[in-house]
Every structure is written in C-alpha cells, then in structure tokens.
Amino acid sequence: MTAGDRIRLVDGDITTLDIDAIVNAANEALAGGGGVDGAIHRSAGPELMVACREIGGCPTGQAVITRGFNLKARHVIHTVGPAWRGGDEDRRLADCYRNSLMLAQRDDLATLAFPSISTGVYGFPIKRACRIAIREVIGHFSRHDTPHSVTFCCFGAPDTERYREALAEEGFFL
C-alpha cells in the first residue's frame, strides 16, 4: 500500500467522522474555544472538558489523547498549533502533526483525521500549512504502518482545494 492509498481528503465536519481518532486544534489550556476546538468540545460533551482538565494543558507542538466521549470518533488527539508570526512556526506546526501521528501509532489507531491546524484564528497561511501537513504524514507513512489511513478534513471548498493542490505537488491526485 502506498502513501497515496492511505490519504483521504474530505470537505466536512470533523466531529461527524466515525473513525478511531480525530485531531483537535486545541489551545494550550485544553479549555475548548472557537472553531474546530469549540465544535469538538460541544459534540463530545462535558466529559471531554473534565478529561482535559485532568491532563492540565499541552504546550505548542505537543499532543495528548483523550477518549472521544459523545463523538463517533473513539479518541481525540489534542495538539496545539503555533500562532503565525512570520518566523519559525513551520517546525512547531510540523511537530503537531508528527506528535499526533506518533500517539496514533503508539495506541494502534488505524484511522485518524486532521483538521487544518493553525490556519483559522492562529493565522497560519493555508498553502504553507497544507504542505507541512502532507509532508509530515507522507514521512510518517514511509516509516510506520499505523495509522493505516489519514483523512484531511477541510471546512469549505477553498481549503479543500489548497489540500488537493498540495497533494498534487507531492504526486498524489485525489
């Protein structure tokens, strides 16, 4: 199975996916918020907030895992992306993807979905973020069998098209 066979692209609501884990673009306090983070917390129910409080936080670039509670996804991997300041954020965004993938591998999760981390209120340029995300997933697939598949779950046609373009640049046409 090639990396291209293991990558999926959807335009939709990440909270509705019936998979092993979804990734939450969280804040450092794991306190819920707006965008994807708020949607995941609302859909998962109050138990998710309790679990996040028990963890106590997560530094930028790192990742932690909880149950999915009321979500169809059985787990939520929370990662904190960097806010765009025009400097050295690329490495920290790559860390988000790398650490999330390693948690999925550690816990033997076969299916994983990512939102577009840091491209909302954190202002990371979407085209740049797509390239980083795809490069990290393909690199992980070259070294590991788990997860078996990764879905990039976009919110809206423009973001979906940016991911499609970045995948095509890597030789994958979905």
Catalytic center residues = 37
Q: Which amino acid is at 75?
A: H
Name residues whose C-beta falls within 8 Å of residue 137's C-beta, 6 or more positions apart in sequence: 3, 7, 97, 101, 114, 150
105, exposed or middle or buried, with CB in 10 Å at 0-12, 13-18, 19+? middle
With 0-12 CB in 10 A as exposed, 13-18 as middle and 19+ as buried, what is 125? middle
Amino acid letter at 105? Q
54: left (phi over 0), alpha (psi -120 to 50) or beta: alpha
